Structure 1
Amino acid sequence: MSDNFQQRGGGSPWGSPPGGSGNGSGRGPTPPDVDKIIREFQDKIKNFLPGGSGSGGKQAILVLLILGFVWLASGLYRVLPDEQGVVLRFGKFVKTTQPGLNYHIPFPVESVITPKVTKVNRIDIGFRSERDSGFSSSGGVADVPQESLMLTGDENIVNIDFSVFWVIKDAGNFLFKIQDPEGTVKAAAETAMREVIARSDIQPILTEGRSITETETQEIIQNILDEYSSGIQITQVQTQKADPPDQVIDAFRDVQAARADMERSKNEAEAYANDVIPRARGEAAKILQAAEAYKKEVVAKAEGEASRFISIYNEYKNAKSVTQERMYLETMEKVLADIDKVIIEKNAGSGVVPYLPLPELKKKVT
């Protein structure tokens, strides 16, 4: 943490009361070119004072005027686009100023601190970079179990590493409301993540629910920091790793593989059902349509037979002998339609013995 973050104070539980000196470092005002200012101002004063510079009293006045001008000019300062000016009056916070050219009452009355407010800061929780920790130059990662191991809502343990990214949104509150910004963000982040994990099941945390966990954690961290007027804005919570503890990770992966197999089998069964069921429904509809057509055909035929029977019966009542003969002939026509037959007229050839060609008829039969 840079020197301009060492001056802290405030009434929050994470900071001491304000009142420290304003000796924070940072980008201060650019020193004016004193020699040039003195020469220009001296030339202008000589033009206004009669008698030139020979008088000792006039020379002293000139020096005082020059010193006063230089002192007043030292109050000019510039705030860069990525900074925010914090004005202190006798070490007490007065106001913040925006990027551009600004002015404050010169030292020792007022001083200015210009922290970088657009710089994105990062805090890692549950792990440390070995390069940052000085363990190794390989850039590996060292796990911190006391931060990363958390209890889930379904009474499982998850090993989660995550990073919190933040910027300064109010330089005045940031410098004087909290004593240790990084420690405050870290404590709030760990508290928030444990709260979210404690009310969640392990499965969503490890799979599709990571984004929800990150969003809820970010909201809780921001609420905690806003309660203490920290002047910090949380920009992102990023999960780096979420796994079961190392001792059971192999068994967990077996469970995950079995669950994946189950999902695959389920999808295959659903695909088969989506193929078979529509075809079965089509076949059933086809059978129903055929049955309905057969029903209509049988009913129509029966109704036709009934109508024909009624019609014949009515004719029979009107002319019994004619109707009987017609029915007999129609019946014989149906019976004898497909067989060979010999018709002998009863009254034809009187006195002649009828001749039947039995051998020829027998050949046709065989």
Structure 2
Amino acid sequence: MAWNEPGNNGNDNDPWKNRGGKDQGPPDLDEVFRKFGNKFGGIFGGKPGKGGNGGVGGAGLTFIILIALVVWALSGIYTVKEAERGIVLQFGKFARISEPGLRWKATFIERVIPIDIEAVRSLSASGFMLTEDENVVSVEFEVQYRVVDPRLYRFSVTDADHSLQQSLDSALRYVVGHSRMDEVLTTGREVVRQRTWDELNEIIEPYNLGLIVTDVNFKDSRPPAEVKDAFDDAIAAQEDEERFIREAEAYAKEIEPRARGQVTRMTQEAEAYKERVTLEARGEVERFEKLLPEYQAAKEVTRQRLYIDAMEQVLSSSSKVLVDVEGGNNMMYLPLDKIMQSQGGNSAPVRLPNKNDLEQLRRTLEQSQSKNSSVNSGGDRYDRDRFGNGR
């Protein structure tokens, strides 16, 4: 049954305790808030108010404070990236270093400055500089570095990047001022780069910048524009000189082994010729040593035999034959086999020996045989006399 049905005593069930009758309006909102404030204050140990509006102001302030605390706590959550380190300042003073991850700080009390320690940074230095031989050159350098200590990088000097810039300019001018212009422009660029790197490290070491120099690049070096053409000609001449030197060295490396090979070959051929001549000479000596007893035994026969052997060796390569005839005239003729070869190779007519030539050849052979027989008989007599007297 509804609390306000006719005939029902609904005043006892009226939630607003409306005792003024049915025509009474909705309950007072101030009274509702007051009751809520009394209950809320009782929870936190306060005394519930019994009247007035004081309870309502205290409850609102407490609620606002709680909301503010929650917002303040949530505002202190922050994240440090993997490549960064966070410098935490507490009332402006260094407190700690935050590692990567989700972190919390006290808002309005602490402040976090993120520093990237993995990124490679770069800066450059350039300008006209005076060399040791009193020439002006334009040089451009670039240095690459990264942060290794965030605290020193932030607080050791006012601006670590600017300090590194000034140090690079100072080191570069010092090295160029102690180098000759040719070294800066051409052959000594690598030496200048390395000396600048070493000098830069020596300069920044006492300042503890929290930086490490990873590389130094020699980007460009050139003479002033007024004398650029003359320097280009000089550099081209130096490059030609170096090219000619390299070509000469390559030619020397190519020709020297070939010459050494020829020398070795000629040396080996000379040694082989020496060995062959020596052996042939020894063979001749041994042959004559063996021939000497025969010659001593029969000088005329041996002499005639040596003559015939020599003539045979000399005339063996000739197609003509010479016959020694007593009386002073020599008859020359071609053998039949040589005549046939000549007929096969040439179509020209060849003169054949006639009857007179054959008769003269027969008489010559008979005289030669008789002469040889007389010589042999003389040799036999010589041997009989020699060996017979010996007995």
Q: 230, 241, 250: which one pairs with 1:262?
A: 241
Alpha-carbon separation, structure 2, partners of 1:68 and 1:303: 125
Partner of 2:89: 88
CA contact (8 A) 1:150 1:158 kept: yes
Which structure has more helix as a fraction of its residues? 2
Gaps of 5+ in 1: 1-41, 127-146, 345-356
1:339 aligns with 2:318: no
The C-alpha deviation readout for 1:302-346, integer Å capped at 9, x for no partner, is 2222222322334456xx3xx3243133134246655213589xx
Partner of 1:177: 156
Q: Quote the offset at 1:189 in angstroms.
A: 0.5
1:47/1:324 CA distance change after superposition, 3 Å: farther
Partner of 1:100: 101
1:313/1:103 CA distance change after superposition, 3 Å: same
Q: Quote the offset at 1:119 in angstroms.
A: 5.3
Q: Quote the offset at 1:99 in angstroms.
A: 3.0
Correspondence 1:71-86 to 2 at 5 A: 71-81=72-82, 83-86=84-87
Q: Quote the offset at 1:102 in angstroms.
A: 1.4
Alpha-carbon separation, structure 2, partners of 1:216 and 1:189: 12
Q: 286, 303, 308: which one pairs with 1:328?
A: 303
Partner of 1:142: none
Correspondence 1:191-230 to 2 at 5 A: 191-207=170-186, 209-230=188-209
Alpha-carbon separation, structure 1, partners of 2:90 and 2:311: 134
Partner of 1:148: 128
TM-score by length of 2: 0.58
Gaps of 5+ in 2: 1-36, 50-54, 313-320, 328-355, 362-391
Alpha-carbon separation, structure 2, partners of 1:340 and 1:282: 52
CA contact (8 A) 2:129 2:177 kept: no
Q: What amino acid does structure 1 have at the position aligned with 2:158?
A: Q
CA contact (8 A) 2:294 2:302 kept: no
Larger Rg: 2
Alpha-carbon separation, structure 2, partners of 1:121 and 1:238: 13
1:238 aligns with 2:217: yes
Q: What amino acid does structure 1 have at the position aligned with 2:142?
A: S
Partner of 1:188: 167
| Aligned-CA RMSD value | 3.9
Partner of 2:377: none
Q: What amino acid does structure 2 have at the position aligned with 1:96?
A: I
CA contact (8 A) 1:95 1:172 kept: no
Count of residues in correspondence between the two structures: 281
Q: Quote the offset at 1:244 in angstroms.
A: 2.5
Alpha-carbon separation, structure 1, partners of 2:129 and 2:240: 29
Alpha-carbon separation, structure 1, partners of 2:163 and 2:112: 25
The C-alpha deviation readout for 1:175-233, integer Å capped at 9, x for no partner, is 22211334311111012223333454444433465455445434543453342122334
Q: Quote the offset at 1:59 in angstroms.
A: 5.1
Partner of 1:302: 281
CA contact (8 A) 1:86 1:93 kept: yes
Secondary structure of 2:322's counterpart equals: coil
Alpha-carbon separation, structure 2, partners of 1:161 and 1:75: 46
1:78/1:314 CA distance change after superposition, 3 Å: same
1:194/1:298 CA distance change after superposition, 3 Å: same
The C-alpha deviation readout for 1:242-263, integer Å capped at 9, x for no partner, is 1123333322221211122222
Alpha-carbon separation, structure 2, partners of 1:263 and 1:277: 21
- Which fold has the larger relative contact order, with Cα–Cα distance below 8 Å and residues 6 or more apart in sequence? 1
Correspondence 1:258-297 to 2 at 5 A: 258-297=237-276
Alpha-carbon separation, structure 1, partners of 2:256 and 2:359: 65
TM-score by length of 1: 0.62
